[in-house]
Amino acid sequence: MAWKWIKTFVYLSMCVTSAVGNKQASQKKCADFNNTIWQQYRQGIKLRVQYFLLTRNNADCASLFTQDCLNQTQKHTAYFNSSLPTKVIVHGYRPLGSKPSGMSDLAKALLREEDLNVLVVDWEFVASFAYNLVVENYKEKHGSTLESFHFIGMSLGAHVSGFVGTLFEGKLGRITGLDPAGPMFKKAAPFDRLDSSDALFVEAIHTDSDQFGISIPVGHVDFFLNGGMDQPGCTHLDLASMFDYVTCDHMRALSVYTSALNRSCSLTGFPCSSFEEFLAGKCITCEDPFTGTCPQIGLLKSGITVTPLPNHEKVYLLTTATAPYCAHHILVELRVSPLDKSADIQLTLITVGHPETELKLKLNKDEMVYKKVTAHPAQLCKIDSVQVKNTGARFFRQGDIQFAYICISEIPQTRGLDPLCVKNINIGRGVPWSRDFVQVC
């Protein structure tokens, strides 16, 4: 991102805060992203940066902030309202000849959630050339309160948002990084990438930290979905295009955040030192550092009320493969009697009308208590039955397996639901065991 772009945004901020009051007719043509081809890029015949404004008064037809506004000739849109909060959406790297996906859906979801100004930044010319040049150049020479601005940056746009926050000395209200870009940023100093010092509250959603996203925490709170790497549903080859297949994990952050704004269900994270520790059932509360209130994606400041804010706090959660992506976190705990040799079991949670959840566990001779967190599409009180099978190899399979108990519970345990427990279970070779539950939510 060039210094010229940063200056443009600063001038834009000054202009739009004094723009309210001129109620001229809205533009006849809806503004849209540049869709530049290589020849046009070389000729430089299009705007290098554009700003689209969407409000509840023009949610289906974006207005364009022109360069005239930046030159203070007052040719501004009549829709901007400086008394309302402002969300600024910044897309990331995109190939020439393409438009950033998901930006319109995100803007509309924001407007459904709250009455505000949504500014969408189109910086195609500097975001569409070679990726390494974008990274090297994005900060070189080329009336509203700061607290009311919330930047939402996808991929490289997350770091652009962070640099804007640096220019404002960390006084922007909020920055949300949607899978902040990783290549060439993983070893960068905090000044050269998104960091918690860039705004009063910085959050990040990580979905592709082993490829296009960054693997380190960069905000006050960092949500690592499914460990922050491989996302459910992104391994299928029936996606719309090879580009969609390659970027599926990376773009999932945008899809999940947009879906979370609809509030159809909660996407709750649990603070933990690692994803492995979380799956092992060692991080099932949010007492430290959130005093019992687990952070959620999409809420104001992620629902975090603690003071001072945590820093670079990693939280983990599981999701489903499709919108709204919400999964119920189920803790499975079992105690097994001493074994002659190791054994393999498969535990299945069954809810009529929903996909089954299968959980495979390896039981060792020297362990007795096992815990595992898994994702289930229905809440605990709607689980109809649980089934357990002894699945070891035929000739090396453990004989009968004795369980002192098998308990399943939902985390976080905020609604007072007691765990579902079954005691004194014997599972023989090749004979599945199951138990039905009759509950009322």
Give yes or no for a contact between 170 and 142, defined as CB atoms under 8 angstroms apart.
no
82 is catalytic: no
Strand order in the sheet with 343-350: 357-363, 343-350, 385-390, 433-436
CATH number given to 328-436 = 2.60.60.20
374 to 69, 318, 349, 377: CA distances (angstroms): 53, 8, 10, 10
Give yes or no for a contact between 86 and 146, defined as CB atoms under 8 angstroms apart.
no
Cis peptide before 217 (omega within 30 of 0): no
Report the candidate in 291, 273, 292, 294 with the shortest Cα–Cα distance to residue 282: 273
Residue of 122, 179, 195, 198 with catalytic role: 179
β-pairing verdict for 63-65 and 86-90: unpaired
In the chain, ranges of CATH 3.40.50.1820 domains: 3-317
Give yes or no for a contact between 180 and 214, defined as CB atoms under 8 angstroms apart.
yes
Give yes or no for a contact between 280 and 372, defined as CB atoms under 8 angstroms apart.
yes
Burial class of residue 151, CB neighbours in 10 A (0-12, 13-18, 19+): buried
The pLDDT score that the predictor gives to residue 228 is 96
* pLDDT tens column, 196-250: 999 999 999 999 999 999 999 999 999 999 999 999 989 765 555 566 667 899 9
Residue of 128, 144, 155, 161 with catalytic role: 155
Report the candidate in 286, 384, 374 with the shortest Cα–Cα distance to residue 330: 374
358: part of which helix (H) or strand (E)?
strand 357-363
Residue of 76, 150, 159, 250 with catalytic role: 250
179 is catalytic: yes
The pLDDT score that the predictor gives to residue 235 is 77
d(CA 40, CA 20): 35
In the chain, ranges of CATH 2.60.60.20 domains: 328-436
pLDDT tens per residue, the chain (441 residues)?
A: 433 444 444 444 444 433 333 444 344 578 665 555 444 545 555 545 677 888 999 888 888 765 444 444 434 567 888 888 989 888 876 555 455 567 888 999 999 989 998 988 877 555 444 444 444 444 443 367 888 889 999 998 999 889 888 888 998 999 999 999 998 898 899 988 999 999 999 999 999 999 999 999 999 999 999 999 999 989 765 555 566 667 899 999 999 999 999 877 889 999 999 999 999 999 999 988 998 889 999 877 788 888 899 999 999 999 999 999 999 999 999 999 998 888 889 999 999 999 999 999 999 888 899 999 999 999 898 999 999 998 876 666 667 889 999 999 999 876 567 889 999 999 887 778 999 987 666
φ/ψ of 244, rounded to 5, equals: -65, -40
d(CA 64, CA 35): 16
244 is catalytic: no
d(CA 111, CA 116): 7
The pLDDT score that the predictor gives to residue 139 is 44
HSE-CB of 17 using CA atoms within 13 angstroms: 13
| CATH class assigned to 3-317 | alpha beta
